């Protein structure tokens, strides 16, 4: 059978470009368990004057790290959740990030928010070895979001504050809608979801997902 070599070459080239483009639309997942960010003042209240955090592991985003320090959180149910990891570095305001499942245990009603947006969020009490901090606001459920560097944002054709859908082909195939894009020169490509979302989709850390623009 006769065939047009030029046409075949064009088809192969187009298919390869489409495959590469699809590959560029994928990114890894990072699963966030419940955790605490502390202000310098609250750190001293909980651990003592002059106390400094003890880093034990760098996180995927540059400058962020998990700490040796763990605390107890308590809500209106008076059923404590112990061993909640502190993440560093210190922030201007303390923040507790939990899952919806945690909120049922604590009997708190945290809003779904971008990290750092704590105005009007739920109150929570943090218990440390040297003291107690009761936050009038600061407990949230972190929204689903994707970190990207500026270069990665340009590659995806996305900018800071955009929203995308994300297809997950895990044990329980699903699509996450309205996932916030966060672009910063210090970020690295990674989608962050909490344990509830990860368990619902049957996926773990490093699982590759597809960004749908």
- Structural domain of residue 113, as residue ranges? 33-142
Domain CATH number, residue 159: 2.40.40.20
Tens-digit pLDDT profile for residues 26-66 = 899 999 999 999 999 999 999 999 999 999 999 999 999 99
Minimal CA–CA distance to 61: which of 157, 174, 192, 166? 192
Shared domain for 121 and 94, answered yes or no, is yes
Shared domain for 113 and 25, answered yes or no, is no
The DSSP code sequence of 140-154 is: EEEPPEEEE-HHHHH
CB 191 within 8 Å of CB 207: no
Helix (H) or strand (E) holding 203: none
* Residues ≥6 apart with Cβ < 8 Å to 19: none
Which pTM does this prediction carry? 0.85
Shared domain for 102 and 23, answered yes or no, is no
Shared domain for 172 and 199, answered yes or no, is yes
Tens-digit pLDDT profile for residues 118-164 = 999 999 999 999 999 999 999 999 999 999 999 999 999 999 999 99
3-state secondary structure of 3: coil
């Amino acid at each position: 059978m006769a065939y047009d070599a030029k046409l075949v070459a064009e088809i192969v080239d187009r298919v390869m470009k489409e495959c590469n483009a699809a590959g560029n639309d994928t990114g890894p997942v990072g699963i966030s368990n419940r955790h605490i960010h502390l202000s310098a003042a609250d750190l001293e209240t909980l651990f003592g004057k002059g106390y400094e955090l003890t880093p034990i592991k760098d996180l995927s985003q540059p400058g962020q790290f998990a700490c040796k320090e763990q605390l107890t959180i308590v809500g209106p149910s008076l059923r404590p959740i112990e061993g909640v990891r502190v993440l560093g570095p210190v922030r201007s305001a303390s923040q507790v990030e939990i899952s919806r499942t945690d909120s049922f245990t604590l009997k708190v009603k945290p809003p779904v928010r971008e990290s750092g947006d704590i105005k009007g969020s739920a109150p929570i009490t943090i218990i440390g070895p040297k003291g107690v901090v009761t936050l009038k606001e600061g407990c949230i459920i972190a929204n689903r979001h994707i970190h990207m560097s500026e270069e990665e944002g340009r590659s995806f054709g996305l900018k800071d504050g955009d929203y995308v859908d994300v297809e997950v082909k895990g044990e329980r195939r699903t699509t996450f809608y309205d996932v916030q894009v966060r672009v910063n020169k210090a970020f690295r490509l990674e989608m962050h979801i909490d344990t509830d979302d990860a368990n619902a989709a049957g996926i773990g850390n490093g699982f590759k997902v597809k960004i749908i623009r």
